[in-house]
Chains A and B, each alone.
Chain A
Amino acid sequence: MKEISQSLDDMLSDYLEGNLTKADNEKIERGLKENRAWQVRYEELKRVHSLLAQTAIEHPSKNFTASVMSKLSQYQAPRDFPLRNSILLLMGVLVAIGITTFLLAGGAYDNSNTSIDLNQLAIPKNITKTPLPSFEFSGKTIVNGVIILNLAIAWILLDRAILKPFFQKRIQAGH
């Protein structure tokens, strides 16, 4: 079991670095004179401190700078979205478009028309004097819109995440 508490360990560390107030400094010095466990711990910390104080700067290879300078133009910024994820997402979008188009062609949305009649809302009669309009919605039109939106997303994905990085890589390889 550890004989020294964490707070005392921290105080001994501060003492070692000379960061204690005068009162705390005296307290530690008194403790170090009287308590063997404190002395042992302080010696352990002091010896690690003196070993660490010999920490020396290390030097890289002689051609380090030349190597960095020669690689400056080869840098490729990290991709925001990994290629594998881009391909998976693109495939997902294309599959969704395929299924929806198949259902649309099979007439699955032919009868899915709906309308919203604003007169059915519970609005007090004294507010609306003339009848409110009603809106007709064709399921087929909405699904067509969704397909067009998905096609646009698929195109942007293909361009930004796959084609653009691919051609940039080819251009760099050509230099």
Chain B
Amino acid sequence: MTNDPEHSRIERILAGEEHLYAEMVDKHKSYAYTIAQKILQNRPEAEEATQDAFIKAYHHLKGFNRQSKFSTWLYRIVFNTAISYKRKNRQQFQSLENTFVEYRAEGEGMLEKTDRRKYLNLAMAKLNEADRAALTLFYLEEFSLEEIAEITGMQANTAKVRIHRARQRLADELKNLLNHEALTL
């Protein structure tokens, strides 16, 4: 069992102090939303999925076994909820190809700072959801590899390899998108 200070707050919530859950939501909502947003790449849907995840977590607090940090457990619920939203609504998402054509028409030849982010986002959209989430968690620098693995449901070694391979694929995608201009970024 970990010495997560949030465990005592959970005890109080389970004892009936429901309002304390608002403090936990406040504390974790941004990280949770960031994970959902990276997976879904759609703000309203990410917000809905994150809310759903918090509600699910509340109703399953009793089942939280305190073996890990509350945040790890919560973000795993967020990850799974966002993945299931993605699967449910896959057909509603804008295809990357359409986005790419639209973007090239307005921004060809320009590599300003905001363009770098746009190209990175376009390349990120070509990765699968789990890879995007793993990369995001890694670069937010909040979690260890073991925790990232727990959140995404992988082994720690697999998570490390997955992050490496996702970054390598991202470099390849960026290179393709920029027609070999990546080095001039």
Closest-by-CB residue of B relative to A19 is B160
Q: Which positions 1-49 of chain B face chain A at CB distance < 8 Å?
A: 18-19, 21-22, 25-26, 29-31, 33-34, 37, 46-47
Q: What is the size category of the interface that chain B forms with chain A?
A: 35 or more
Interface string of B69-102 (1 = CB under 8 A from A): 0000000000000000000000000000000000
B30 touches A58 (CB 8 A): yes
Distance in angstroms between the alpha carbons of A52 and B25 in the assembled complex: 26
Distance in angstroms between the alpha carbons of A45 and B183 in the assembled complex: 10
A49 CB → nearest B CB, Å: 7
A44 touches B33 (CB 8 A): no
A77 touches B55 (CB 8 A): no
Q: Which positions 8-66 of chain A face chain B at CB distance < 8 Å?
A: 9-10, 13-14, 40-41, 43-45, 47-49, 51-55, 57-61, 64-65
Interface stretch (choices A68-76, A103-111, A132-140, A142-150): A68-76
B30 touches A69 (CB 8 A): no
B68 beta carbon closer than 8 Å to chain A: no
A48 touches B174 (CB 8 A): yes
A68/B30 contact (C-beta < 8 A), A44-B174, A45-B167 known: no
A67 beta carbon closer than 8 Å to chain B: yes
A72 touches B56 (CB 8 A): no
B168 touches A47 (CB 8 A): no
Distance in angstroms between the alpha carbons of A142 and B185 in the assembled complex: 80
Partner of B182, one of A10, A44, A53, A67: A44
Distance in angstroms between the alpha carbons of A13 and B93 in the assembled complex: 32
Distance in angstroms between the alpha carbons of A134 and B62 in the assembled complex: 56
A21 CB → nearest B CB, Å: 16
Closest-by-CB residue of B relative to A46 is B171
Q: Which positions 86-142 of chain A face chain B at CB distance < 8 Å?
A: none
Distance in angstroms between the alpha carbons of A57 and B75 in the assembled complex: 14
B167 touches A13 (CB 8 A): yes
B135 beta carbon closer than 8 Å to chain A: yes
B185 touches A47 (CB 8 A): yes
Which residues on B sit within 8 Å (CB–CB) of A69?
18-19, 21-22, 25
A60 touches B168 (CB 8 A): no
Interface string of B153-180 (1 = CB under 8 A from A): 0000000010010011011001100000
Which residues on B sit within 8 Å (CB–CB) of A13?
164, 167-168
Please give 20 more A-B residue pairs, beta carbons under 8 A apart, in addition to A10-B161, A58-B33, A64-B29.
A13-B168, A14-B164, A43-B183, A45-B168, A47-B183, A48-B170, A48-B171, A52-B120, A52-B167, A53-B139, A57-B30, A60-B33, A61-B47, A64-B25, A64-B33, A64-B47, A64-B50, A64-B51, A65-B29, A75-B59
* A positions within 8 Å CB-CB of B: 9-10, 13-14, 40-41, 43-45, 47-49, 51-55, 57-61, 64-65, 67-69, 71-72, 75, 77
21 A-B pairs in the complex with CB atoms less than 8 angstroms apart: A13-B164, A13-B167, A44-B182, A51-B117, A51-B120, A52-B120, A53-B139, A54-B117, A55-B135, A55-B136, A58-B34, A64-B25, A64-B47, A65-B25, A65-B29, A67-B51, A68-B51, A68-B55, A69-B21, A75-B55, A75-B58
